[in-house]
Amino acid sequence: MLEQRRSDGSLRHLITLADLSRAEIQSLLDHSARYVSDAGARPPSNRSLNGITIANMFTEPSTRTRVSFELAGRRLGADVLNIEVQLSSRAKGESMLDTIRTLEAMHIDVLVIRDSEPGVIEEVARDVAPHVSVLSGGEAHVSHPTQGLLDALTITQRKGADFSRLTVALVGDIRHSRVARSAYEVLTALGVGQLRLIGPAEMMPPPEEFPGCRRFHAPEDGLAQADVVMMLRIQKERMLEASIPDGAEYFARFGLTAPRLKLAKADAIVMHPGPMNRGIEISSEVADGPQSVIRAQVRNGVAVRMAVLETVARPRRLGV
């Protein structure tokens, strides 16, 4: 596994949460909390990353992650570039590593990469110059570390910091979900009481993955007394055409409706990383209802990405 830290122990890259200690995760969550603002309030900003250049390079579509990394960088005073991959020389056959070297020559300090192929982000991190940090904006089905952090921050805000009391249910397409894998890593590190996986057999991960989780094939069994219900998007882009489920049938069996949500605790929160497929994974009544924290997740995404950018890039800014 790639060493994500510098020789002094500070975080240089963030590609996975798997090797972060509980203290490191807690420190990132505490740092993020300083950048959280209420809906409609003026968002916090400063110039801590003035002079730092961040490049977003997403080879898969994104709204939340890409925009929030851009806003996070700008709110810290950094220069932010969004590389349009289809308009870049990659479309003319330039390799990812040659593109990265080209960006390095223009004094990029932080690269945020989303890629559909496992291992590419790590390969880039191994290759970049020592002053450059690489952050994952989502790696295939493998990992989405800043999503894991924003999910943990959102749960903390609503349920407190003692995760050992909590039962969290991940529902839907767990097999193809990088969100589920990073949720597993962060929740396990924070000592979650019980983690349940609920989904059809074909969307369950292999048995060796998600050790310690209880598995259910019906929400009627798995949702009972849950504190947190995290719905997952069906990752059609990672499925063969023939195995994509019929939307109406899937909603009937696994969609989160108001009656199904009643199986969880009365004060359970409902999460979804987005983009949502309404009427397939979740009803609009639940998505827009009082137990939904989906918009808070999006707001927290900016705060988490500010904290992560500041953590990896401040040493560079300070000339370390």
Contact 205, 174 (CB under 8 A): yes
CB of 274 to ligand CP, least distance (A): 5
Tokens of 39: 């809906």
Contact 256, 283 (CB under 8 A): yes
| Segment 212 to 231, residues that bind ligand CP, using CB under 6 A | none
Helices 178-189 and 22-33 cross at an angle (nearest 10°) of: 100
Rounded to an integer, what is the distance from CA 138 to the centroid of its chain?
A: 7
CB of 152 to ligand CP, least distance (A): 14
d(CA 126, CA 270): 38
Quickly list DSSP for 94-156. Answer: --HHHHHHHHHHTT--EEEEEESSTTHHHHHHHHS-TT-EEEEEEETTTB-HHHHHHHHHHHH
Tell me, what amino acid is at 25? Answer: I
Q: Of the two residues 255 and 273, which places its CB atom closer to ligand CP in the complex?
A: 273
| Segment 49 to 78, residues that bind ligand CP, using CB under 6 A | 62-65
Q: Of the two residues 138 and 245, which places its CB atom closer to ligand CP in the complex?
A: 138
Sketch the per residue contact string, 115 through 144, with ligand CP: x for CB under 6 A, - otherwise: -----------------------x------
Q: Of the two residues 190 and 231, which places its CB atom closer to ligand CP in the complex?
A: 231
Q: Of the two residues 69 and 251, which places its CB atom closer to ligand CP in the complex?
A: 69
DSSP H stretches of helix in 15-110: 22-33, 64-75, 96-105
CB of 134 to ligand CP, least distance (A): 17
Q: Of the two residues 73 and 317, which places its CB atom closer to ligand CP in the complex?
A: 73
| Segment 233 to 292, residues that bind ligand CP, using CB under 6 A | 273-275
CB of 243 to ligand CP, least distance (A): 21
* Size of residue set near ligand CP by CB under 6 A: 9
Q: Of the two residues 179 and 265, which places its CB atom closer to ligand CP in the complex?
A: 179
Contact 169, 196 (CB under 8 A): yes
Residue 118 CB contacts under 8 Å (≥ 6 apart), including other chains:
139, 140, 141, 142
Q: Of the two residues 99 and 177, which places its CB atom closer to ligand CP in the complex?
A: 177
Sign of the C-alpha dihedral computed for residues 300, 118, 54 and 274 taken in this order: negative
Q: Of the two residues 67 and 263, which places its CB atom closer to ligand CP in the complex?
A: 67
CB of 66 to ligand CP, least distance (A): 6
> What Cα–Cα distance (Å) separates residue 12 from each residue in 67, 166, 315?
22, 31, 9
* Residue 145 interacting with ligand CP (CB under 6 A): no
Residue 53, SS3 per DSSP: strand
Count the helices and strands in the chain (H runs, E runs).
11, 9
Tokens of 172: 């839907």
CB of 201 to ligand CP, least distance (A): 25
CB of 96 to ligand CP, least distance (A): 20
Q: Of the two residues 172 and 273, which places its CB atom closer to ligand CP in the complex?
A: 273
Q: Under the rule (CB under 6 A), what is the footprint of ligand CP?
A: 62-65, 138, 147, 273-275
